[in-house]
Structure 1
Amino acid sequence: MNIRDYLDSTYLKTNVQAGLDENENIAVAKGFIQEAIDEGFKLIMIRPDRVALAKQMIEAAQSKVLVGTVIDFPEGKSTIDKKLAEARECIQNGADDLDFVCNYEAFKAGEIDLIKEEILKGTQLGLDHNKTVKWIIEVAALSDLQIAQLSALIKDVVVAIFKPESYSSVFVKSSTGFYKTENNLPNGATVHSIKIMLENALPLPVKAAGGVRTYDEAKQMIKLGVKRIGTSGAKAIANGEESSSQY
């Protein structure tokens, strides 16, 4: 097993979040992109306004690293039309993976038809352009029952509408890594939440994002059955070290 084949190296901080000006933050993003190229990670996950930059650098290096980005990040509260417009722009700029933030607050409020519609339309858009689509459910904002229900809902929509050969291109993803929890509780993937997702999302693949900080933790997630791991500490994990990153 090559751990790098599972790692989506991730840098999603805005200028404000990073405490940097635009040029400084671009430099950090470039560093992450170059590191993904040098290390041969599966993918570099970058903000939508950095997709074209990542694609340009990867093509110049003749690398096979994929470019992923986040849609309606981090709260997922935008309208479906706004989600789709952002996704289309990212596709035009060269994104390979589209990680949509599911409107989990609408789900919690019982707006099931809205969730079904955004899953259907977002997945359709991605698959029509031969992209991988991931639905971020934000496990830290959900109860165990809600994790199970939302994972199953995404699965049910995809299985009902799309062909089996598409299933491997539609993921259920645990977290944005930016959700604010109380009492320092985990805001990303845990073994407990991932087990619930796997039980309810299959045959769709699962991505564990946030909270995986060591090689052993990553290996444990892979052993459970996840197909991708999102982390801003990919190099440390790949080298058997512990990442100090919070995502």
Structure 2
Amino acid sequence: MDLADHIDHTNLKATATMDDIQKLCDEAKTQGFYAVCVNGCHVSLAKKALENSKVKLAAVIGFPLGAMSTKTKVFEAKDCVLNGADEIDMVINIGWLKSKMYEAVGNEIQAIKLAIGDKILKVILETCYLTDAEKEKACSLSVEAGANFVKTSTGFGSGGATFEDVILMKRVVGNKAKIKASGGIKDKETALKYIELGVSRIGTSSGPTLLK
């Protein structure tokens, strides 16, 4: 098992400079990470930096709160794909989910998936804010809407990935969607444990440390 091939090497900081994004992409190429994950404004730069490499490019949308209008998220997703993103990591509308506006939540995910076509869509649940029942519902809605992945966290909430959440998510999605664990994964042992639990992708800013 190649750990590097499971890693989305990530820098989503507000303070990330052009040099930081270039460094992120260089590290991803050197270490053989699966993808880099960046904010929308950095997609063009990252695309250029990753030229002639196998590293995929993921962009976050509706980040980190998920509370933008659906139209805004759809536009953002299309824009990122237009600029070279291979994958979209969207934040679910947490307030709608908690208001039991399930149709609206599902329709939004579906609209974004439709907008990006055959590109990979990961739905960030931000599990730290949800009850177990809400996590289950979010997973079901994501699968029904055609998402390729469900993802634990943004890394900007009050908590990150947990083994318990991944077990719950795996139970709901089965083989109908993949799972990405992110938020607070800083050592190799933890990363390997997540993979053992059925995670296909690890989102982390500590990629090079994980491989040591």
Q: Does TM, scored on the shorter chain, surpass 0.5?
A: yes
For residues 5-20 of structure 1, the aligned pairs below 5 Å read 5-15=5-15
CA distance in 2, matches of 1:221, 1:125: 31
Summarize deviations over 1:164-184 as a string: whole Å, max 9, x none.
Answer: xxxxx71000000001x2xxx
SS at 2:145 equivalent: helix
CA distance in 2, matches of 1:49, 1:97: 15
CA distance in 1, matches of 2:78, 2:100: 28
Once superposed, which parts of structure 1, at least 4 consecutive aligned residues long, lie more than 4 Å away?
A: none
Other-structure match for 1:235: 208
| Deviation (angstroms), 1:224 | 0.6
SS at 1:35 equivalent: helix
Other-structure match for 1:41: 33
CA distance in 1, matches of 2:26, 2:142: 34
SS at 2:9 equivalent: strand
CA distance in 2, matches of 1:77, 1:37: 33
CA distance in 2, matches of 1:84, 1:157: 14
Other-structure match for 1:175: 153
For residues 1-247 of structure 1, the aligned pairs below 5 Å read 1-15=1-15, 25-59=17-51, 62-126=52-116, 128=117, 130-158=118-146, 170-179=148-157, 181=158, 187-202=159-174, 203-239=176-212
CA distance in 2, matches of 1:106, 1:122: 16
Paired amino acid for 2:201: R
C-alpha root-mean-square deviation of aligned residues, in Å? 1.2
Amino-acid identity (%): 33
CA distance in 1, matches of 2:211, 2:28: 11
Other-structure match for 1:161: none
CA distance in 2, matches of 1:199, 1:122: 25
Q: What stretches of structure 2 of length at least 5 have no aligned partner?
A: none
CA distance in 1, matches of 2:48, 2:85: 11
Paired amino acid for 1:132: I
CA distance in 2, matches of 1:221, 1:195: 9
CA distance in 1, matches of 2:190, 2:102: 34
Paired amino acid for 1:171: F
Preserved CA contact (<8 Å) 2:8 2:34: yes
Paired amino acid for 1:220: K
TM-score (norm 1): 0.83
CA distance in 2, matches of 1:65, 1:106: 34
Paired amino acid for 1:96: D
CA distance in 1, matches of 2:22, 2:207: 15
CA distance in 2, matches of 1:40, 1:63: 9
CA distance in 1, matches of 2:173, 2:11: 26
Q: What stretches of structure 1 of length at least 5 have no aligned partner?
A: 19-24, 159-168, 182-186, 240-247
Preserved CA contact (<8 Å) 2:106 2:144: no
Task: Count matched residues.
Answer: 211
SS at 1:175 equivalent: coil
| Deviation (angstroms), 1:157 | 3.1
TM-score (norm 2): 0.96
Indicate the structure (1 or 2) with the bigger Cα radius of gyration: 1
SS at 2:50 equivalent: helix
Paired amino acid for 1:50: H
